[in-house]
Amino acid sequence: MDKIIIKGGLPLHGTIKVSGAKNAALPLMAAAILAPGEHVLHNVPDLRDTRTMLTLLASFGIKWRRRESDGALLLDSTIIDNVEASYDLVKTMRASVLVLGPLLARMGRARVSLPGGCAIGARPIDFHIKGLARLGVVSSLDNGYVEGSVEGRLKGNTIYFDIPSVTGTENLLMAATLAEGITEIRNAAREPEIANLIDMLTAMGARIDGRDSDCLVIRGTKKLRSAEVTIIPDRIETGTYLLAAAATGGELTVAACNPGHLGALIEKLREAGVEVRVGQDEIFVCRTQPLRSVDIKTLPYPGFPTDLQAQIMALMCLGNGLSVITETIFENRFMHVAELRRMGADIKVDGHSAIVKGAGSLTGAQVMATDLRASASLVVAGLAAQGETEISRVYHLDRGYDDLVGKLIGVGAVIRRESE
């Protein structure tokens, strides 16, 4: 297992280029199941999760390769000869559940391992199952696997989400494109990754109204065709680097991003006294004054993203007062608190809120990564801390950050990766 060692306390300077979004790439890759032919996806990040999705798609019979000339991912889904997503793959990546809707829509049946709990909460998939049942899927649980089938085509229907679910919306959206009749998804999630998926489905011939809204109307069609699309920039990777720059001071430009997707974070950074300038596809941050502590509440998009909660908590440890950080999406997403405390942070957890008493500084320590975004928060903390920070179990970071160490070295960080 590898570890990352950071010599902290050095300001970041220069430009970091953001990769394609993990959480857009995964559903768009799954969407290739829906129509036979060769799909072309640009800007797919090379991550552990995207590789897991490729292994999963290959297990169904889909062929893939990276085009040498431009790195585009080509997915040939002409033949699908297996509809089972094994526990071995699903347990390493919960987003594997995204194949359920497309498999049922195209093949009429699917057998997908039920994901277990994970480091950030129980994370059930009951909304996915209930929504698919509304479209005519009969499912049962067999040996830890969800087995679903449908007589003929799926049937359009109205689906209400109790609370907006990102992958739930994506799964049902994909399934509904091949259903008979009209499907309405109400209280749908509105994350930009869903708009990216809608763009792909539309390019495949699907008819979808309500992009960017919480009510999606899908007019089902019998057949879709292959498509060529570009994955949007990763807003969480963008936000992580903005927060790292705010934590260390210095001047950083995050390039090839979409500033429009980061409104909530940009407002919070400004409130905290960080200078933020926004261009068309880049964001410049610079901090020359002490940080002000601000309160944060995670919410579905366009609210503050839960996927940046851990990283902004690391920043708030450097603030000048009290910051209340409330997590409303996941019940157990404070695993980073104990690790940040090892670096000198003063944080109390009270139910869904963490009360951070900013002390202006952190000190390096040996810490352990527990999930993807918790790991990213330890990197932000380590970059800002005085002395050396050693982060173990960094395989979590490989799931979602493309060349993190290389990108940070490029802007002046003293960071290296070693085998333990």
> In this structure, are residues 19 and 45 in contact, taking their beta carbons and an 8 Å threshold?
yes
> Per CB under 6 A, does 216 bind ligand EPU?
no
Site string for ligand EPU, 346-385 (x = CB under 6 A): --------------------------xx------------
Angle at 247 between CA 245 and CA 250, to 5 degrees: 45
> Per CB under 6 A, does 116 bind ligand EPU?
no
Name which of 234 and 282 has its Cβ closer to ligand EPU: 234
249: left (phi over 0), alpha (psi -120 to 50) or beta: left
- Of 14, 71, 117, 124, the one binding ligand EPU (CB under 6 A) is 124
Sorted by sequence, the CB contacts under 8 Å of residue 420 that are 6+ apart come out as: 1, 2, 3, 392
- Of 330, 337, 345, 356, the one binding ligand EPU (CB under 6 A) is 330
Q: Whole-angstrom Cα distance, residue 101 to residue 105?
A: 6
Site string for ligand EPU, 304-323 (x = CB under 6 A): --xx----------------
Count residues binding ligand EPU (CB under 6 A).
23
> Per CB under 6 A, does 123 bind ligand EPU?
yes
For residue 388, the minimal CB distance to ligand EPU (Å) is 26
> Per CB under 6 A, does 329 bind ligand EPU?
yes
Helix 235-248 with 309-316: angle, nearest 10 deg: 10
- Of 121, 279, 321, 406, the one binding ligand EPU (CB under 6 A) is 121
H/E stretch holding 355 reads: strand 353-357
- Of 165, 177, 183, 311, the one binding ligand EPU (CB under 6 A) is 165
Name which of 106 and 373 has its Cβ closer to ligand EPU: 373
CA-wise closest residue to 176 among 228, 109, 106, 75: 106
> In this structure, are residues 366 and 341 in contact, taking their beta carbons and an 8 Å threshold?
no
Name which of 43 and 165 has its Cβ closer to ligand EPU: 165
Name which of 199 and 307 has its Cβ closer to ligand EPU: 307
CA-wise closest residue to 162 among 185, 179, 138, 181: 185
Which of 118, 215, 257, 286 is catalytic? The answer is: 118
Report 14-33 residues binding ligand EPU (CB under 6 A). Answer: 23, 26
| Residue 227 identity (one-letter amino acid) | A
- Of 34, 73, 125, 356, the one binding ligand EPU (CB under 6 A) is 125
Angle at 156 between CA 153 and CA 159, to 5 degrees: 130
For residue 119, the minimal CB distance to ligand EPU (Å) is 9
- Of 65, 67, 117, 126, the one binding ligand EPU (CB under 6 A) is 126
Burial readout 1-38 (b: 16 or more C-beta within 10 A, e: otherwise): eebbbbbbbbbbbeebbbbbbbbbbbbbbbbbbbbbee
- Of 128, 134, 261, 336, the one binding ligand EPU (CB under 6 A) is 128
Three-state DSSP state, 323: strand
Name which of 156 and 400 has its Cβ closer to ligand EPU: 400
For residue 352, the minimal CB distance to ligand EPU (Å) is 11
Q: Encoding tokens for residue 153?
A: 């085509």
> Per CB under 6 A, does 400 bind ligand EPU?
yes
Q: Whole-angstrom Cα distance, residue 173 to residue 408?
A: 37
For residue 357, the minimal CB distance to ligand EPU (Å) is 26
> Per CB under 6 A, does 166 bind ligand EPU?
yes
Residue count of the chain, please give it: 420
Stretch of 158-166, 177-185, 266-274, 311-319 contacting ligand EPU, by CB under 6 A: 158-166
Report 45-74 residues binding ligand EPU (CB under 6 A). Answer: none
Q: Whole-angstrom Cα distance, residue 412 to residue 356?
A: 28
118 annotated active-site: yes
Stretch of 81-89, 116-124, 360-368, 385-393 contacting ligand EPU, by CB under 6 A: 116-124
Name which of 75 and 166 has its Cβ closer to ligand EPU: 166
Q: Edge-to-edge strands of the sheet including 109-113?
A: 84-85, 109-113, 145-149, 138-142
**How far is CA 98 from each of CA 32, 168, 169, 340, 394, rounded to the nearest angstrom?**
11, 8, 10, 33, 25
Query: Beta strands 366-368 and 388-392: pairing type?
Result: parallel
Question: Contact positions toward ligand EPU, by CB under 6 A?
Answer: 23, 26, 95, 121, 123-128, 163, 165-168, 189, 306-307, 329-330, 372-373, 400
**Catalytic residue ranges:** 118
